[in-house]
Amino acid sequence: MSLLGKLVRRLGRRPRSAHLTVMKRDLDRPVEMFPAAIELDFVDAPEDLDEVRALLQGLPFEHRSDIEERQRAGQRCFAALHRGRVVHAAWLAFGTCYSYLLDRSYELAHDQAYLHGSFTQPEFRRQGVQLAGTCHRLEVLRERGYRRVLGLVDPYNRLANRTNPKTGYRPAGVSGFVEVFGVRRYFHRDRDAFTALARRGYWRRM
């Protein structure tokens, strides 16, 4: 494609923007446990890839399509079972984490974890499963010496924004981007919640 063609194509791109709320939960105080309305058994962080595949085979494909990539990055899956069936699962990232919506990576301090990818089977929602699973993961991390759990949440996600305050999460800021003519400006304001983050704002050509 000619230089002129590339320029015309770039100028023809529609402006875009997206943002997520930065959430943090410090682990310097005990975690209040909220039991679910159904009996749950928790399975914590299998390290074997085949075990994780078998564990999550009943979840929709979009929630297990990149298991190998997550395992290679050192992430761990935490699941909740009801009568032997996985009804809820979520992932914890360490060292670095990634936002699919923003297409951006974030560095994490050694005592920080990032919670993401939470999913509950539709027929088990509204029974406190998500809340119980979150409390369990927070307590496990606290016992292992982690001092802060971070998350990036869609501000329009009513379930997450209703559940998070109960588990001690608090909004710390916003992370997002504005894109014009194929050039994206990232911004990040979080009152130093991501203490190891190298760049809070930068430009990127898409």
Please give the model's pTM, rounded to 2 decimal places: 0.90
* Whether the Cβ atoms of residue 87 and residue 119 lie closer than 8 Å to each other: no
Q: Where are the domains of the chain?
A: 15-205
| DSSP helix/strand/coil, 183 | strand
Q: What is the rounded distance in angstroms from the CA atom of residue 134 to the CA atom of residue 117?
A: 12
| Token output for 76 | 């761990």
pLDDT in tens, 75-132: 999 999 999 999 999 999 999 999 999 999 999 999 999 999 999 999 999 999 999 9
Q: What is the pLDDT of residues 56-85, one digit of tens each?
A: 999 999 888 999 999 999 999 999 999 999
* Nearest-angstrom CA–CA distance, 111 and 163: 24
For residues 105 and 79, what is the distance between their CA atoms, to the nearest angstrom? 24
Instruction: Band the pLDDT of 179: cuts 50, 70, 90.
Output: very high
Instruction: Note whether 139 and 33 are within 8 A (CB).
Output: yes
DSSP-based three-state secondary structure for 156:
coil
Distances (CA, A) of 13 to 1, 9, 101, 103, 186: 16, 7, 18, 18, 18
CATH topology of domain 15-205: Aminopeptidase (3.40.630)
Name which of 93, 97, 96 is nearest 77 in CA terms. 93
